[in-house]
Structure 1
């Protein structure tokens, strides 16, 4: 495939859907990944791309998705980890993990590990400009009230509080994981970034009473529209240069957005990366290159 291939998770609606449409409009090939089959296919059709249905609550789905993408595409230029959300009640996935953690952190981590070798191959191609093969993960300003505890990632020992501290901690974990990944891929031509797209008025937090209250008080005008929210993802997935080094957390287009202090803890983020590998079964022991063992 001569077109640049952009994989977008959480692309059946909201900012993911808008990103798919815009990257296709500029001439890239949009790979639309979503949980809902009908919406995912409709989003892919609107972008002239291809649809892949995947439930991030299930690691087997993520592994199958990775296998399908690796079989279908000989290049992957950009992976946008946009799937995730806020869950208001403590629930376990079929894999036995807290849902906010799995959808925002564990499954995106696993998918990234499985696709990163193909992305390194893409970066080595003669027709690919340096610095244009990128992994992008949506985070949030909510990371600033998060706290990562390696002994309680599942949030089983702390008050759930309608999911908000869990969500903030998950988005902090995203920033930390991406920074560690950036270091591991530094010499392979693949860069990694996390980004807060802004407060976006989409289906985010659909189970949250606080979000519902905000929508009611502000008459549905509490956040920016999906296309506006998608703007950083659209720009960062292009071949335009980034205005921050690999590993940078962006608040919209501003590099070095505000983070919790733990984001700067090198030892903690390395321990977190290893723990995520242990939980998901992903190989993280390779010489700088995340493993691609689809059988684990």
Structure 2
């Protein structure tokens, strides 16, 4: 009998071995697309999620895998995506929250939320919770794409979800810290029930990541000299693939943060449980999760 084992001792969360169903958001380009190709090559059942229907289909088609589209700047899209996944992909072994970006201007989404926060944190927070029942049944893993930028994030229990003065870099750094806090929160709340969670930094990767901003990052990401200093999408996806293909407790520790397939130095704020709890509750309020929902 194929059976999962889960022990929440801080070191061991054995996932189901063998072929896995891996859902990757932000998979129409960059490291998400590279991970989709590599995980498919390794025999896993990959589900590609992207914002552009044309680009998403272009990645999924040659791989012969399922694909869905959703704009994370619209929470109704996230809710629809979750419903579609529950109906069409009842088994999810790994959910990779990879969609994200940095934006040039402070803009509110149709939901009335600052775009960086919604796309990078609130939308994946909501998607994970809408899929949570199935993830818990499977003893699944949640992998969150963070960044070294989290080190300059300055969230506090008093300043959460765009309460501070805005700049592209500040908003991005705060959301990347939020990704680490969300990972910690998932492990603390649902690790005892079999769920595993990890975050990783892909490194500076030559993708279209900063094409929507006029910050210095745009020069780095969009010019030939800048891109020569960066990793390829395949290299940036290596840790993502390692986490999705590996097993918590055997290959990596649930709740951990990784870079180049090794534990990475996280900012001290990422280990602040009071901050993680405050962010969790505020995020649940903003995406409309009820008090009785598991997010509470």
TM-score by length of 1: 0.87
Counterpart residue number, 1:20: 36
Give the 3 Å change call, closer, same or farther, for CA 177–250 of structure 1 in structure 2: same
Residue 177 of structure 1: which of 182, 185, 190 is its match? 182
Q: Alignment partner of 1:6: what SS?
A: strand
Q: Cα RMSD between the aligned structures?
A: 2.0
Deviation at 1:279, TM superposition (A): 0.7
2:188 corresponds to 1:188: no
Distance 2:184 2:280 in 1: 10
Q: Structure 1 residues 74-83 or 206-215, which shifts more?
A: 206-215
Deviation at 1:17, TM superposition (A): 0.6
Distance 2:288 2:154 in 1: 24
How many residues are aligned here?
A: 276
Q: Alignment partner of 2:48: what SS?
A: strand
TM-score by length of 2: 0.87
Where does the alignment leave 5 or more consecutive residues of structure 2 unmatched? Answer: 1-17
Distance 2:226 2:174 in 1: 29
Residue 116 of structure 2: which of 74, 89, 100 is its match? 100
Deviation at 1:156, TM superposition (A): 5.6
2:218 corresponds to 1:212: yes
Q: Alignment partner of 2:99: what SS?
A: coil
User: Is residue 197–residue 232 contact of structure 1 (8 Å, CA) maintained in 2?
Assistant: yes
User: Is residue 113–residue 283 contact of structure 1 (8 Å, CA) maintained in 2?
Assistant: no
Counterpart residue number, 1:231: 238
Counterpart residue number, 2:46: 30
**1:134-170 CA distances to partner (integer Å, 9 max, x unpaired)?**
100000000001111455444364142xx01110111
Deviation at 1:204, TM superposition (A): 0.9
Residue 169 of structure 2: which of 157, 164, 167 is its match? 164
2:256 corresponds to 1:248: yes
2:113 corresponds to 1:68: no
Where does the alignment leave 5 or more consecutive residues of structure 1 unmatched? Answer: 124-132, 292-296
User: Is residue 210–residue 217 contact of structure 2 (8 Å, CA) maintained in 1?
Assistant: yes
Residue 61 of structure 2: which of 41, 45, 53 is its match? 45
Q: Alignment partner of 1:80: what SS?
A: strand
Counterpart residue number, 1:7: 23
Distance 1:285 1:175 in 2: 24
